[in-house]
């Protein structure tokens, strides 16, 4: 995987004093022994934004979150929240809260006491703290369970309690560390929507760590794709999908064919390195040359495998050294079977050339 | 059906026999002999001798003072030590080395270690030499034959039990809970008293009970370090059994010790029982 030179931040030209910028991370690095967990990362996050840190395990996304939360101290670099440098502040003095991966609910306290813990520390009286806690529990629909022990609740309920506990003090910034990873698929989908709604309702900035690209794409305003301690690309989901900056991003977000399309005229040149990204849904399979639309490029190849799942068909083929994958929302075309010689065709306008 | 019943009976018979042979019988023998006079008659006389005599009350007081103090000191020293081993040490081999160092003395004889302390705590022992040469004291302190000396010995011998029980409880507390507390605005002291300590209280209690019951029934360490000047209940009982051969009176002393110990542990457990405060409607 090419790591390349450090990429510019966020793509947008924002000065550090931009009033919309809530969190400014500049040149942040974290080294564990000789391992560079985070390598000179810079990122600006706006007020009210929902941003996801997305990447495979070990890419540094959790390290970045823990640095923002104050549970790790950076080797070098600076973190500012609302213009104030918080790099040296302990977690309890940072204006943010965290939803932990395994919820981290206090087992010796009731649900209400758990949620009231934050307001109590912020100086509220017991009665006031409990009133706020009940409101927060109301918001996640669990006010009726206030007196229960968190140990006696389901995973989804514990998740809601930890969410209520994290937002009860109305932080400027909420960090979420893979909060949905322990839930089953159905519940996860529902919680994704609820989280997004809650975020819009409260207007709190969310930084959401996940390794699940669908989750990131479904919820985020922007996604920061990370790999080996660096941010590869920060952008809206659709832009990242359409115009990935690196081969890693193209491969990690959705699936990608790499085709040797070059130049402004977008011609196929099989002698060149495959730097053109073509999404599987843009690749079509034909059996006869006369069916190919005008202006399209074609490669001839042999079908190696076909799958047909739930209205979605995938055709995998080999064209010379290239491995290609075509997808469409119906059954595979007539006459296409394993071992068949076919034409893989695409509109050159659909190709995104890396580094262009 | 009947076959499974016999099986159950057989299975039950084994632990019942074991418990009877090793626990019920010896205790019954001591209990019965404590209620027997020298002539073999039933009597409360042995207890009368103990409880109506102020000398015995002094011994009981010294015994309990030593046991309570060594338990408290073990908690105060043991908790930070356990914390260090469980939370601070990152390097596995070093942690293992520390645990081995902690446990190793338990494999050597109690008598040897107590003698060691006799040498260390003596008038010209290492401890006094250190204190004098660094100017902490003008003259060597007297440790041997004082309660302080016995206390030092007891704490040294019992500390590993405390560290291991607390460490075990501490290792089961997810560090994410402490992080969550910090995240919600609590400082490190508040986090300790609201989260960490309550979640390890059962370990402290268990360690406390172990240390207390071992300290209160300790014989070797007090006997060696007292130099005959301090007497604890176990020494008195040992005397009766080994030199006076008054099993009845010795038995009564043992039972007295047992009753007081059970009472104190009972009170301590009751005090430490987790009581989730009843949350009212508001």
Are A261 and A126 within one domain? no
**Distant-in-sequence, close-in-space partners of B13: CB < 8 Å, separation ≥ 6:** none
Quick check: A181 and A214 in contact, CB under 8 A?
no
Q: Is the pLDDT of residue B277 over 80?
A: no
Q: Is the pLDDT of residue A9 over 50?
A: no
Within 10 angstroms of residue A141's Cβ, the number of other Cβ atoms is 12
The CATH number for A154's domain is 3.40.50.300
What value does the mean pLDDT of chain A take?
87
Whole-model pTM: value is 0.79
Are A238 and A284 within one domain? no
Which residues of chain B have a CB within 8 Å of the CB of A105? 180
Which residues of chain B have a CB within 8 Å of the CB of A102? 174, 176
pLDDT of residue A133: 94
Which CATH number does the domain B41-272 belong to among 3.40.50.300, 3.40.605.10, 1.10.260.40, 1.10.3720.10? 1.10.3720.10
Determine the structural domain holding residue A304 and report its residue range: 257-353
Q: Is residue A3 part of a domain?
A: no
Q: Which strands sit side by side in the sheet containing A50-54, from one edge to the other?
A: A96-99, A173-177, A205-210, A50-54, A222-227, A230-235
Q: Is the pLDDT of residue B141 over 90?
A: no
Q: Is the pLDDT of residue A126 over 50?
A: yes
With pLDDT > 70 as the criterion, what percentage of chain A qualifies? 94
Are A326 and A223 within one domain? no
Cβ–Cβ below 8 Å for A108 and B199: yes
Q: Is residue A296 part of a domain?
A: yes
pLDDT average, residue stretch A241-262? 89
| Relative orientation angle of helices A111-121 and A155-167, to the nearest 10 degrees | 20
| Mutation site for A-interface testing, chosen from B183, B194, B272, B282 by largest number of A Cβ within 10 Å | B183
ipTM (interface pTM): 0.80
Are A192 and A63 within one domain? yes
Q: Is residue A59 part of a domain?
A: yes
Are A96 and A218 within one domain? yes
Q: Is the pLDDT of residue B145 over 80?
A: yes
Q: With bands split at pLDDT 50, 70 and 90, how would you rate the model's confidence at A79?
A: very high
| Residue A266 tokens, joined | 């977008």
Cβ–Cβ below 8 Å for A108 and B177: no
| B187 contacts chain A (CB < 8 A) | yes
| H helix or E strand, kind and range, residue A164 | helix A155-167
CA distance to partner chain B, nearest, from residue A104 (Å): 5
- 3-class DSSP string for chain B: CHHHHHHHHHHHHHHHHHHHHHHHHHHHHHHHHHCECCCCCECCHHHHHHHCCHHHHHHHHHHHHHHHHHHHHHHHHHHHHHHHHHHHCCCHHHHHHHHHHHHHHHHCCHHHHHHHHHHHHCCCCHHHHHHHHCCCCCCCCCCCCCHHHHHHHHHHHHHHHHHHHHHHHHHCCCHHHHHHHHHCCCCHHHHHHHHHHHHHHHHHHHHHHHHHHHHHCCCHHHHHHHCCCCCCHHHHHHHHHHHHCCHHHHHHHHHHHHHHHHHHHHHHHHHHCCCCCCCCCC
* Alpha-carbon dihedral angle through residues A326, A332, A338, A343, given to the nearest 10 degrees: -50
Which residues of chain A have a CB within 8 Å of the CB of B198? 108
For chain B, the domains span 41-272
Domain count, chain A: 2
Burial class (CB in 10 A: 0-12, 13-18, 19+), A128: middle
What value does the mean pLDDT of chain B take?
87
Q: Is residue A14 part of a domain?
A: no
Query: Nearest chain A Cα to B195, which residue?
Result: A106
Cβ–Cβ below 8 Å for B184 and A107: no
Are A227 and A310 within one domain? no
Please name the residue that has the structure tokens 């920060």. A234
**Distant-in-sequence, close-in-space partners of A114: CB < 8 Å, separation ≥ 6:** A105, A106, A150, A161, A165
């Amino acid at each position: 995987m090419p790591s390349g030179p450090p990429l510019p931040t966020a793509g947008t030209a924002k000065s550090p004093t931009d009033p919309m910028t809530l969190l400014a991370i500049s040149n942040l690095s974290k080294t564990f022994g000789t391992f560079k967990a985070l390598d000179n990362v810079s990122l600006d996050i706006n007020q009210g934004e929902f941003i996801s840190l997305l990447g495979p395990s070990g890419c540094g996304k959790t390290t970045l979150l823990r640095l923002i939360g104050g549970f790790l101290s950076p080797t070098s670099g600076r973190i500012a929240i609302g213009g104030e440098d918080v790099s040296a502040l302990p977690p309890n003095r940072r204006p943010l809260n965290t939803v932990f991966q395994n919820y981290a609910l206090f087992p010796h306290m009731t649900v209400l006491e758990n949620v009231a813990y934050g307001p109590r520390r912020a100086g509220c009286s017991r009665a006031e703290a409990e009133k706020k806690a009940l409101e927060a529990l109301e918001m996640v629909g669990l006010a009726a369970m206030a007196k229960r022990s968190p140990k006696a609740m389901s995973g989804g309920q514990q998740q809601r309690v930890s969410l209520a506990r994290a937002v009860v003090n109305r932080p400027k910034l909420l960090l979420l560390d893979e909060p949905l990873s322990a839930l089953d698929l159905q519940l996860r989908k529902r919680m994704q929507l609820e989280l997004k709604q809650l975020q819009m309702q409260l207007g709190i900035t969310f930084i959401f760590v996940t390794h699940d690209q669908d989750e990131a794409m479904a919820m985020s305003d922007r996604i920061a794709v990370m790999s080996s301690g660096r941010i590869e690309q920060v952008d809206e989901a659709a832009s990242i999908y359409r115009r990935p900056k690196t081969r890693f991003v193209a491969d990690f977000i959705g699936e990608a064919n790499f085709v040797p399309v070059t130049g402004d005229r977008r011609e196929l040149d099989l002698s060149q390195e495959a730097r053109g990204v073509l999404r599987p849904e843009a690749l079509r399979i034909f059996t006869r040359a006369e069916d190919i639309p005008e202006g399209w490029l074609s490669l001839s190849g042999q079908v190696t495998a076909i799958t047909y799942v739930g209205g979605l068909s995938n055709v995998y083929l080999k064209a010379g050294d290239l491995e290609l994958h075509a997808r469409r929302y119906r059954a595979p075309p007539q006459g296409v079977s394993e071992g068949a010689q076919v034409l893989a065709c695409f509109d050159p306008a659909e190709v995104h050339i890396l580094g262009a | 059906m009947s076959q499974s019943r016999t099986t159950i009976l057989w299975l039950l018979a084994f632990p019942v026999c074991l418990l009877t042979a090793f626990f019920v019988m010896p205790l019954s023998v001591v209990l019965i002999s404590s209620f027997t006079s020298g002539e073999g008659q039933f009597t409360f006389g042995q207890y009368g001798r103990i409880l109506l005599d102020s000398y015995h009350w002094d011994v009981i007081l010294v015994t309990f003072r030593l046991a309570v103090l060594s338990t408290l000191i073990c908690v105060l020293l043991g908790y930070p030590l356990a914390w260090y081993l469980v939370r601070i040490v990152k390097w596995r081999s070093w942690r293992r080395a520390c645990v081995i160092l902690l446990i190793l003395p338990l494999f050597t004889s109690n008598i040897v270690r107590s003698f060691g302390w006799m040498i260390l705590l003596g008038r010209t022992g290492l401890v006094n030499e250190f204190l004098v040469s660094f100017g902490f004291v003008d003259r060597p302190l007297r440790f041997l034959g004082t309660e302080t000396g016995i206390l030092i010995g007891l704490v040294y011998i019992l500390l590993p039990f405390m560290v291991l029980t607390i460490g075990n409880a501490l290792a089961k507390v997810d560090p994410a809970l402490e992080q969550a507390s910090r995240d919600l605005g609590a400082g490190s002291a508040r986090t300790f008293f609201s989260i960490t300590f309550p979640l390890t209280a059962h370990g402290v209690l268990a360690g406390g009970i172990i240390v207390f019951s071992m300290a209160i029934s300790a014989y070797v360490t007090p006997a060696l370090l007292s130099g005959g000047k301090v007497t604890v209940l176990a020494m008195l009982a040992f005397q009766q059994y080994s030199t006076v051969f008054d099993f009845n009176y010795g038995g009564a002393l043992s039972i007295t010790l047992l009753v007081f110990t059970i009472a104190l542990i009972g009170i301590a457990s009751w005090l430490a029982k987790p009581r989730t405060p009843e949350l009212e409607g508001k």
